[in-house]
């Protein structure tokens, strides 16, 4: 994991979500799309999370298939959406087309999925959604911090870090969450935290939060009704 400061680890977090029902994608193709979505998220200087509340969702639909000599070209339509997976509130959608070329239809589709990347339309969608996410944390950060304190009292440190790491730097209670994160790590890991720089401490908190999410938080349902 790339080391980051506690401040940079508290950027807005989006988890990738691929609705593959209509595309009939293989497991390998699903993994490709998730990797591409993570790349899109980090390219916008956001945190690519695991099972977090807010998601960058994607649905792909095959469009035109063309044969040119021995090659096959597959065009796909990718619909992107950003929103709250828990309340199923969609903040907006954007449609972008991508094309892949291969020796078979499956290979052409795979290459089209590999071409999913950042675009002006997608960046506009995410930028528009950022304020909605910040508004959520401004309205709910106090209750998140209270929940984290209850978890700390019960020595549920990783879950507390998971809650606190979600609060972005632009939130009005970020500094309070930041101080609590530092205290949680120092309490849980004692002398080990003294040996870490602030950059390393931030990375360690994020790693523990991601591990907690991966092992304990259910994946969001792809049936969001956003399409």
- Among 131, 185, 197, which Cα is nearest to 160's? 185
pLDDT of residue 57: 94
Q: What is the CA radius of gyration of the chain?
A: 20
pLDDT of residue 185: 85
Residue 20 falls inside a structural domain:
no
pLDDT of residue 1: 31
- Whether the model clears a pTM of 0.85, i.e. scores above it, the answer is no
pLDDT of residue 4: 36
Question: What's the average model confidence in pLDDT over 59-88?
Answer: 92
Residue 143 falls inside a structural domain:
yes
pLDDT of residue 5: 37
Give the list of residues 6+ apart from residue 100 with CB closer than 8 angstroms, or none. 73, 74, 76, 107, 108, 109, 110, 111, 112, 113, 114, 115
Query: Which has the minimum average pLDDT: 8-22, 36-50, 55-69, 81-95?
Result: 8-22
pLDDT of residue 79: 94
Of the two residues 189 and 36, the one the predictor is more confident about is 36
Number of domains in the chain: 1
Residue 207 falls inside a structural domain:
yes
Q: Say if CB 169 and CB 11 are below 8 A apart.
A: yes
227 pLDDT above the threshold of 60 = no
Residue 16 falls inside a structural domain:
no
Residue 211 belongs to domain spanning? 132-216
Residue 201 falls inside a structural domain:
yes
In the predicted model, what is the mean pLDDT of the chain?
85
The fraction of the chain above a pLDDT of 70, given in percent, is 86
Q: Are strands 47-48 and 13-19 parallel, antiparallel or unpaired?
A: parallel
Residue 211 falls inside a structural domain:
yes
Main-chain phi, psi angles of 182, to 5 degrees:
-60, -45
Q: For residue range 96-142, list pLDDT tens digits in order.
A: 999 999 999 999 999 999 999 989 999 999 988 999 999 999 999 99
Question: What's the average model confidence in pLDDT over 186-215?
Answer: 75
CA distance 144 to 168: 12
Q: For residue range 2-44, list pLDDT tens digits in order.
A: 323 343 445 788 999 998 877 778 999 999 999 999 999 999 8
Residue 140 falls inside a structural domain:
yes
Give the list of residues 6+ apart from residue 211 with CB closer than 8 angstroms, or none. 158
Neighbours of 42 (CB within 10 A): 15
pLDDT of residue 25: 85
State the pLDDT confidence band at 200, using cuts at 50, 70 and 90.
confident
Residue 193 falls inside a structural domain:
yes
């Amino acid at each position: 994991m790339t080391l980051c400061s506690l401040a940079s680890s508290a950027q807005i977090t989006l988890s990738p979500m691929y609705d593959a029902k209509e595309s009939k994608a293989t497991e390998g193709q699903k993994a490709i799309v998730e990797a591409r979505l993570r790349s899109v998220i980090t390219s916008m200087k956001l945190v690519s999370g695991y099972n977090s509340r807010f998601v960058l969702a994607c649905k792909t639909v095959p469009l035109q298939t063309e044969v040119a000599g021995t090659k096959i070209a597959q065009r796909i339509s990718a619909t992107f959406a950003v929103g709250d997976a828990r309340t199923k509130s969609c903040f907006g959608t954007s449609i972008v087309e991508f094309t892949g070329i291969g020796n078979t239809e499956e290979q052409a589709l795979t290459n089209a999925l590999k071409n999913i990347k950042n675009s002006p339309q997608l960046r506009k969608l995410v930028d528009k959604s950022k304020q909605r996410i910040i508004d959520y944390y401004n309205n709910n950060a106090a209750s998140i911090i209270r929940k984290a304190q209850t978890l700390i009292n019960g020595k549920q440190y990783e879950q507390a870090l998971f809650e606190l790491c979600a609060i972005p730097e632009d939130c009005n209670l970020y500094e309070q969450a930041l101080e609590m994160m530092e205290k949680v790590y120092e309490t849980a890991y004692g002398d080990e935290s003294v040996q870490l720089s602030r950059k390393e401490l931030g990375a360690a908190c994020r790693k523990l939060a991601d591990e907690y999410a991966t092992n304990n938080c259910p994946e969001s349902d792809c049936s969001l009704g956003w399409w």
